[in-house]
Structure 1
Amino acid sequence: MSNPREEFLAGDRLEDVALFLADSYVSDERLERFGDRVDDGILIVVDGERGRSAFQAATGTGAMEFAKSAMSNEGEIEGDLTDGHCPDASDDEDHAVQFVFAFAEAQNEEVGGIYAEGAVVHAYAQCTCGTAFSDRWNAVDEKSTS
């Protein structure tokens, strides 16, 4: 595997972070130099420190502060990190993910639960409605990456 995105999603890049920035949120063609163009934005995988700085520059919010604010509100984030389902969405409302911040944590059998099963991807998203939410899963679960 030589694709940083695939390696990250497989739990093989524990020192890195992933950022998804929707075109509707940040439109800057220069970002394509740092990541992969996806249908509705850019997905960037970089080392943790640079990633946290890039996240703050793009969103105006500290990455870990954002993660803490989203942590208590569980939603569903797609396994490819480019979309999700806002927990505050109803059928008659239009909700879309503006950005996602994610990191992977190594397997830890002592903690138990999903941590004992393999590396865990922690993902935090911001919806167009303003709701921040989180999701997590085992990297080996291979959530949809399409």
Structure 2
Amino acid sequence: MSNPREAFLAGERLDDVALFLADSYVSDDRLERFGDRVDDGTLIVVDGERGRGAFQAATGTGAMEFAKSAMSTEGEIDGDLTGGHCPDASDDEDHAIQFVFAFAEAQNEEVGGIYAEAAVIHAYAQCTCGTAFSDRWNVTE
């Protein structure tokens, strides 16, 4: 696949990370040079080290520290990594995803569970309400 975003979501870029930055969180037209413009922000797929650095620069938080803090709360992150549903949202509140950090892990039959089925996308999101949460799913064709 030639499109970095599609290749990442297909589990073909295991050394890379994906970052979604909402326009409401970071407003910088220069981001489009590094990724895909999507409805409410920019999605960037880059090698892991550069991606973790870019995440830190954009959010002020270390990527792995953020992921570790978000792991304790499960939520729903869109399969295209550009949104989701905050687990703390109620029907009368406005919640929006500020940013998403994601990486893919190779299929590993020895580990079992979803890891035995196919590559796994691990995604971590921050909501405007301050809730950090995670989601993971198998890559599908």
* TM-score (normalizing by structure 2): 0.98
Q: Report the Cα offset of residue 18 of structure 1.
A: 0.0
C-alpha displacement of 1:107:
0.4
In the other structure, the counterpart of 1:101 is 101
Deviation, structure 1 residue 95? 0.1
1:48-76 deviations in Å (ceiling 9; x for gaps): 00000000000000000000000010000
**Seq. identity, %:** 91
Give the whole-Å Cα distance in 2 for the aligned partners of 1:16 and 1:118: 17
CA distance in 2, matches of 1:112, 1:93: 38
Which ranges in structure 1 are unaligned for 5 or more consecutive residues? 139-144
- CA–CA separation in structure 2 for the residues paired with 1:31 and 1:21: 9
Report the equivalent of 1:115: 115
For 1:116-135, what per-residue CA distance to the aligned partner results, in whole angstroms no more than 9, with x for missing partners?
00100000000000000000
Runs of 4+ in 1 over 3 A off after TM superposition: none
Normalised by the length of structure 1, the TM-score is 0.94
Query: What is the RMSD computed on CA atoms of the aligned residues?
Result: 1.5
Distance in 1 separating the partners of 2:124 and 2:40 = 17
| Structure-2 residue corresponding to 1:23 | 23
Deviations 1:32-53 (A, max 9, x none): 0000000000000000000000
Structure 2 unaligned regions, length at least 5? none
- CA-CA distance at 1:25 after TM superposition: 0.1
| 3-state DSSP of counterpart to 2:89 | coil
Counterpart-to-counterpart distance in 2, 1:119 and 1:71:
19
The CA deviation string for residues 62-94 of structure 1, in whole angstroms up to 9 with x for no partner, is: 000000000010000000000000000000000
State the distance in 2 between where 1:70 and 1:122 align. 11
